[in-house]
């Protein structure tokens, strides 16, 4: 979700809301851990302004090149630097930072979040903060909620990642991991993005891409009754596509956790 340009009409307004809630102060220095193609860098740079700095950190040099191209084209409001690496081996020439931001990277959808946070904590200035953001739920097929529930149970790509992960390592257990790593003042908030028909073309295209991200390509899923109904309701070429309902209403949520070192 965080790396796909097509879903920008869905993602970007929500990310701006989360940045406003986290509120990195003007002039501060932070790191976007697992920045991917860099879609969160612009709102973060806008928040800290020209006297701040945002370090873009990713394991993939290819992703960092995409992030740099995006931010060069959009003229970021704050200085940016691009660093190949990961949060557990963060090397910023000995400098500490004021905040760490992670959108579907650290401990998402599951992982050793407490271990990663223990490695990050010494990199933060006293009173430094961390924010973890991840996709948590959706209701995208109004009128076909039972179908959506079955798709989530049988075809969900995000939920499949959690099948074999210990429950204490799931992303929504992040408050425990934050406290175990020595963070305090743990906060949580869920942000919703609601779509109401008639949809703009960019919103429609974004939701079609989101359907495929959640449940696979509708064109290749019609091998059983649920697959055929999924293709009928979620393939943009179908005359019965749910997105073409004049009263379409759907939503998804992301949950953010913030804490202080």
Mode of pairing for the β-strands spanning 124-139 and 53-58:
unpaired
DSSP 60: -
> For the segment 44-102, what is each residue's pLDDT rounded down to a tens digit?
999 999 999 999 999 999 999 999 999 998 888 889 999 998 877 776 767 899 999 99
- Assessment of whether the complete model's pTM goes beyond 0.85: yes
Convert the pLDDT of each residue in 123-159 to its tens digit.
999 999 999 999 999 999 999 999 999 999 888 877 7
Confidence band (pLDDT; 50, 70, 90) for 219? confident
Tokens 């979040």 sit at which residue?
A: 113
Calculate the alpha carbon distances from 194 to 22, 115, 137 in Å.
21, 35, 12
105: nearest Cα among 34, 18, 32, 56 = 34
CA end-to-end distance (rounded Å), the chain: 28
Task: For residue 35, give the 3-state DSSP assignment.
Answer: coil
* Residue 110 DSSP class: B
Q: Is the Cβ–Cβ distance between 92 and 117 less than 8 Å? A: no
175 contacts 242 by C-beta, under 8 angstroms: no
CA distance 231 to 238: 8
């Amino acid at each position: 979700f965080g790396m796909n340009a097509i879903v920008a009409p869905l993602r970007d307004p929500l990310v701006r809301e989360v940045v406003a809630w986290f509120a990195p102060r003007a002039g501060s220095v932070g790191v976007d851990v697992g920045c991917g193609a860099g879609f969160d860098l612009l709102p973060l740079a806008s928040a800290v302004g020209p006297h701040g700095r945002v370090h873009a950190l990713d394991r993939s040099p290819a992703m960092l090149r995409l992030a740099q191209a995006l931010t060069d084209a959009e003229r970021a409001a704050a200085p940016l630097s691009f660093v190949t690496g990961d949060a557990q081996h963060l090397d910023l020439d000995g400098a500490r930072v004021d905040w760490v931001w992670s959108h579907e990277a650290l401990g998402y959808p599951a992982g050793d979040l407490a271990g990663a946070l223990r490695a990050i904590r010494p990199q933060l200035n006293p009173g430094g903060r961390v924010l973890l953001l991840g996709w948590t739920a959706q209701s995208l097929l109004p009128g076909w909620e039972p179908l959506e529930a079955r798709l989530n149970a049988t075809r969900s790509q995000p939920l499949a990642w959690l099948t074999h992960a210990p429950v204490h390592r799931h992303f929504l257990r992040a408050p425990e991991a934050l406290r175990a790593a020595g963070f305090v003042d743990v906060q949580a908030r869920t942000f919703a993005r609601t779509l109401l028909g008639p949809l703009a073309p960019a919103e429609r295209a974004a939701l079609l891409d989101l359907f495929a991200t959640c449940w696979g390509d509708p064109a290749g899923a019609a091998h059983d009754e649920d697959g055929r109904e999924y293709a009928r309701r979620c393939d943009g070429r179908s005359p019965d596509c749910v997105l073409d309902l004049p009263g379409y209403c759907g939503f998804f949520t992301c949950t953010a956790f913030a804490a202080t070192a």
